[in-house]
């Protein structure tokens, strides 16, 4: 099997999605699955839909096209403010988009009219993350302009938390979003179908709060892909953390001394950790580097420590004596490592436990259906 590769257990992904979908259903909130970290990989997206996600959300048009080319017909919403230069293409593949700029909305409307379509607009409110968003006091006015513009329909409002600033959504902020939804409806007329409360960082708020107000949608990526809370990186109970693994091949094992001789080092490597030079520790090199993955986001197997990485080499100190040239090593990834690895041209994706609903297959464990994409 080719190396390096990402192994994806689609059964675990379906389970994670289903678990989050079920927990949110009780609160009147649906899950829109976010596929940007997996570059719009169609089979991975399908597993999230099979797990009960109601639709998909993507940040990049190229990824949306990939999903459509694979034949996916579910609703796909663009969650990054559209580029003016892409409005015509967006019209062809996305039912709706999140927006913050009236000039972009006007261009979307013009493109929609050219193609005889109506494009859904969700206005993103700035609630304190200080990334994208319209100031809350301006949303009603902009919403009114959207309502008056042929070619677009005001579908809802949304907010985003914990991306740029790392600020988690508080109950107060979420209450403010509910009030904003009521206010925009009062001001502009149409019922807001979607009040999208945020991303995986909102789950703690949902599970811990008694009232979720008008919020009826969350855009979830990290929690279902990796089974963790994005802010604390702690496992979410009942979810798998190991849906994705990165497998790399050992290309050198040796017993070089652990401290590099300073005089021979011309460029300080990005990271070099000193690993005790004990007789049990072997230094190994894997064919994997910064070009493939955010190496800081890899969790090392027990007994192994990251020594350093360059563009194409990963150097590890390990007490595992069985590793030889040609052996494979398996790592868990955080979000940043996953998204870079999924985009790396040299890394293959191998899918396991495909075929939703094939309970017999799932029950008998490791019988694998493998597809390389
Ligand atoms: C990436 C993103 C999400 C999903 O975030 P996760 O932490 O992966 O759940 C949701 N909304 C927007 C606008 C995003 O950019």
pLDDT in tens, 98-126: 999 999 999 999 999 999 999 999 999 99
Cα–Cα distance for residue pair 303/198, rounded to 1 Å: 38
Structure confidence at residue 355 as a pLDDT band (50, 70, 90): confident
Domains along the sequence of the chain with CATH: 9-226 (3.20.20.10), 244-352 (2.40.30)
Q: What is the pLDDT of residue 263?
A: 47
Structure confidence at residue 370 as a pLDDT band (50, 70, 90): very low
Cα–Cα distance for residue pair 228/230, rounded to 1 Å: 6
DSSP per-residue letters across 192-205: -SEEE--SGGGHHH
Which residues does residue 34 pair with via DSSP β-bridges, in sequence order?
57
Pairing between strand 371-372 and 348-352?
antiparallel
Q: What percent of the chain has pLDDT over 90?
A: 79
List the one residue out of 97, 89, 24 whose CA is nearest residue 57.
Answer: 97
Give 132's DSSP letter. Answer: S
Mean of pLDDT values over 327-340: 97
Q: What is the pLDDT of residue 368?
A: 38
Q: Whose CA is nearest to atom 3 of ligand 1?
A: 199
Q: What is the pLDDT of residue 328?
A: 97
Distance 163 CA to ligand 1 centre (A): 8
Kindly report each contact of residues 172-179 with a partner whose C-beta sits within 8 Å and lies 24 or more positions away, as own/partner. 173/127, 173/128, 174/202, 174/205, 174/209, 174/212, 174/213, 174/215, 175/213, 176/127, 176/136, 177/125, 177/127, 177/213, 177/214, 177/215, 178/213, 178/214, 178/215
Mean of pLDDT values over 17-25: 97
What integer best gives the mean pLDDT of the chain?
90
Instruction: Identify the residues whose C-beta falls under 6 Å from ligand 1.
Output: 34, 36, 59, 79, 160, 199-200, 219-223, 230
Distance 160 CA to ligand 1 centre (A): 8
Q: How far apart are the first and last CA of the chain?
A: 13
Q: Whose CA is nearest to atom 13 of ligand 1?
A: 79
Structure confidence at residue 129 as a pLDDT band (50, 70, 90): confident
Q: Whose CA is nearest to atom 12 of ligand 1?
A: 79
In this predicted structure, the answer to whether residue 262 has a pLDDT above a threshold of 60 is: no
Q: What is the pLDDT of residue 211?
A: 87
Q: What is the pLDDT of residue 154?
A: 97
Q: What residues contact 107, with CB distance under 8 A and at least 6 apart?
A: 84, 87
């Amino acid at each position: 099997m080719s190396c390096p590769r990402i192994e994806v257990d689609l059964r675990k992904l379906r389970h994670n999605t289903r678990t989050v979908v079920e927990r949110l259903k009780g609160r009147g909130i649906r899950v829109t699955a976010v596929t940007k970290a997996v570059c719009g990989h169609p089979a991975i997206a399908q597993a999230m839909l099979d797990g009960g996600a109601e639709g998909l959300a993507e940040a990049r048009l190229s990824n949306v096209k990939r999903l459509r080319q694979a034949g996916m017909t579910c609703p796909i919403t663009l969650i990054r403010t559209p580029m003016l230069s892409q409005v015509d293409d967006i019209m062809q593949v996305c039912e709706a988009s999140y927006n913050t700029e009236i000039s972009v909305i006007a261009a979307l409307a013009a493109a929609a009219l050219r193609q005889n379509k109506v494009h859904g607009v969700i206005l993103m409110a700035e609630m304190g993350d200080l990334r994208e968003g319209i100031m809350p006091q301006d949303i009603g006015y902009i919403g009114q302009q959207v309502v008056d513009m042929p070619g677009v329909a005001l579908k809802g409002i949304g907010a985003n938390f914990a991306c740029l600033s790392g600020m988690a959504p508080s109950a107060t902020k979420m209450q403010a979003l509910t009030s904003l939804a009521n206010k925009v409806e009062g001001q502009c007329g149409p019922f807001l179908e979607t009040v999208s409360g945020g991303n995986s960082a909102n789950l703690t708020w949902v599970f811990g709060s008694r009232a979720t107000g008008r919020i009826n949608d969350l855009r979830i990526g990290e929690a279902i892909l990796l089974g963790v809370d994005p802010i604390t990186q702690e496992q979410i109970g009942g979810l798998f953390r190991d849906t994705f693994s990165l497998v790399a091949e050992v290309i050198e094992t040796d017993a070089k001394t652990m401290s590099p001789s300073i005089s021979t080092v011309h460029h300080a490597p990005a990271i070099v950790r000193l690993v005790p030079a004990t007789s049990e520790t072997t230094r190994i090199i894997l064919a994997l580097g910064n070009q493939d993955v955010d190496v800081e986001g890899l969790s090392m197997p027990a007994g192994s420590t990251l020594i350093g990485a360059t563009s194409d080499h990963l150097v590890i100190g390990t007490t595992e004596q069985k590793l030889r040239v040609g052996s494979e090593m398996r790592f868990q990834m955080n979000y940043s490592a996953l998204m870079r690895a999924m985009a790396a041209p040299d890394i293959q994706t191998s899918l396991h436990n495909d075929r939703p609903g094939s309970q017999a297959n799932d029950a008998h464990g490791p019988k694998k259906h493998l597809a390389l994409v």
